[in-house]
Structure 1
């Protein structure tokens, strides 16, 4: 028998098996798709190769069975997949082979085991993919909720006080950031509270603490005699109620517009500085970061002058950059160079310049700008 004759014989035998298989499915009311039918035909041809050399054909059998399972598991469950595309196919092979007296039982068993393994792996991979998708979808939903909460917490109205300009910005590295800023005017007391906080890390875990920082520090303002007392009370609560590995750096200020008195309490935060006549003076920390242990905080007092600029920022600004950080010096030079602009324009200029320098931010960028105009 020539090779051509052998090939024609193999094709004829597999056509018989294929016909028996489609007949079995038809009796069950099943009509395989063209794609599924094509994969079954490839599987039968690989089985024919396995009769001669199983090891050489095993990879093709496994790959084809895996693709068949991936296709059909979108339509049927694993039980129906096994029944229709393994058991009925084996039944057709055995029946057709038995009639031809060419049934190789050992090869059939190995073929069945290989198909079963491929089906199981395909099912497992699909389950893993589904789980990952659901987790990602759930996390995405949580992040969207947290994002809406965070947006709600940020100031909706910036104080409009003669002689002063105020601005704030927040650009999160992820959908939700761990930075927080606030500018609030307590008109009855004649005080503007300035806040910028940076919670360790970023994303959902950090963002959930933003609300705590806002409400704790805001809640203790009423009744407090000094800005340092507000920071002390805020730290006391955070040290007791937050995980040990969560730290919050924060710069907090009381600005009295009438007297131009500014009081700063700095809990381990930078950058925070005052620019005046082409020079910038740092507001150095007056106590440790929040959340470690109960401690007292000192204050820095400044009498403001016309054209002064107060700048609070997060380290996402100074540490931005891939090969080289943007740095504090560049930031100060940028603020000085644009000190003639409105506070809003200064804020936008800083965000754009740093973003252009660093590309996509790897950490949250937030800032508060106050400009004294009279």
Structure 2
């Protein structure tokens, strides 16, 4: 009799512990879901729903967030007098902390751009701000190009981001990667370097985050920089909206059933 009672009590205790574990797992899953939804809401609030129309140019971009919500950000900010700031950025890490850091970058950019600072000075201010606003494992890779739409001049700066490509009308491909370290990595007064270029009729400026070349299929093979550059060269003559649609489709056709592990973000500017 005592043995039967002991077994019954043991079963009840075990069932209770299992139920408590399952409840804990359910609550943790619910908490994570809420955090992901909040991060997605923060991120989507600052991603432009519509890009400005620039006389003499075509412009298109897209952001497709991953399941875990990364910290990708792109924008085109009208700074007045025919000038526009094209921006591409990516926070190291995912989730709500990455989304909040991108939100900080977005607010700072809209504020600092009003002062018409040289890009090296702008990058220095942003670096200090992000360094103070983020934990040691968080930083932002960042690219900015300020376009004078009347002359076609471009002032550019790359802070640790993927190379940006300037594809000339004759097929020559220029790579823009000089600039400095990612924003918030270090605050040691290391100067940033800018660069001046010109975008001529027929030229295209292509910006992206690593969610495109590093997209993986089920065999863990990457889409790759090589395939992305080949796609750019072969399809750059298309209207920019069509180009954006097709490059996303090409990435998806490569990855097939594999889950999207990172945000897919890109922006293309064409002078016509």
Give the corresponding residue for 2:248.
351
**Unpaired segments ≥5 residues, structure 2:** none
Alignment size in residue pairs: 265
The one of 86, 95, 98 aligned to 1:194: 86
Give the corresponding residue for 1:313.
208
User: Considering only CA atoms, is the larger Rg found in Structure 1 or Structure 2?
Assistant: 1
1:117 Cα shift? 1.2
Distance in structure 1 (CA, Å) of the matches to 2:141 and 2:118: 19
Give the corresponding residue for 1:71.
none
> Which string of whole-angstrom CA distances, capped at 9 and with x for unpartnered residues, describes residues 96-119 of structure 1?
xxxxxxxxxxxx111111111111
TM-score, normalization: structure 1? 0.68
The one of 366, 370, 374 aligned to 2:265: 366
Between structures 1 and 2, the one with greater helix share = 1
Distance in structure 2 (CA, Å) of the matches to 1:264 and 1:162: 20
1:176 Cα shift? 2.2
Distance in structure 2 (CA, Å) of the matches to 1:226 and 1:345: 34
1:175 Cα shift? 4.9
Instruction: Kindly report which structure 2 residues correspond to 1:94-113, keeping only aligned pairs within 5 A, or say none.
Output: 108-113=1-6
1:279 Cα shift? 2.6
Question: 1:271–1:328: 8 Å Cα contact kept in structure 2?
Answer: no
1:135 Cα shift? 2.0
1:224 Cα shift? 3.4
Distance in structure 2 (CA, Å) of the matches to 1:256 and 1:128: 60
Distance in structure 2 (CA, Å) of the matches to 1:324 and 1:162: 41
Distance in structure 2 (CA, Å) of the matches to 1:243 and 1:341: 42
1:254 Cα shift? 0.4
- Superposed CA RMSD: 1.5
Give the corresponding residue for 2:96.
204
Distance in structure 2 (CA, Å) of the matches to 1:282 and 1:335: 13
Give the corresponding residue for 2:183.
290
* Greater relative contact order (Cα < 8 A, sep 6+): 2
1:266 Cα shift? 0.1
1:197 Cα shift? 0.6
1:214 Cα shift? 0.9
Distance in structure 2 (CA, Å) of the matches to 1:157 and 1:320: 26
Q: Does 1:151 align with 2:50?
A: no
**Unpaired segments ≥5 residues, structure 1:** 1-107
Distance in structure 2 (CA, Å) of the matches to 1:229 and 1:148: 31
Distance in structure 2 (CA, Å) of the matches to 1:148 and 1:193: 24
Question: 1:183–1:193: 8 Å Cα contact kept in structure 2?
Answer: yes
Q: Secondary structure, in 3 states, of the residue corresponding to 1:316?
A: coil
> Which string of whole-angstrom CA distances, capped at 9 and with x for unpartnered residues, describes residues 198-244 of structure 1?
11122333222110111122221111331222111111111122111
Question: 2:72–2:90: 8 Å Cα contact kept in structure 1?
Answer: yes
TM-score, normalization: structure 2? 0.92
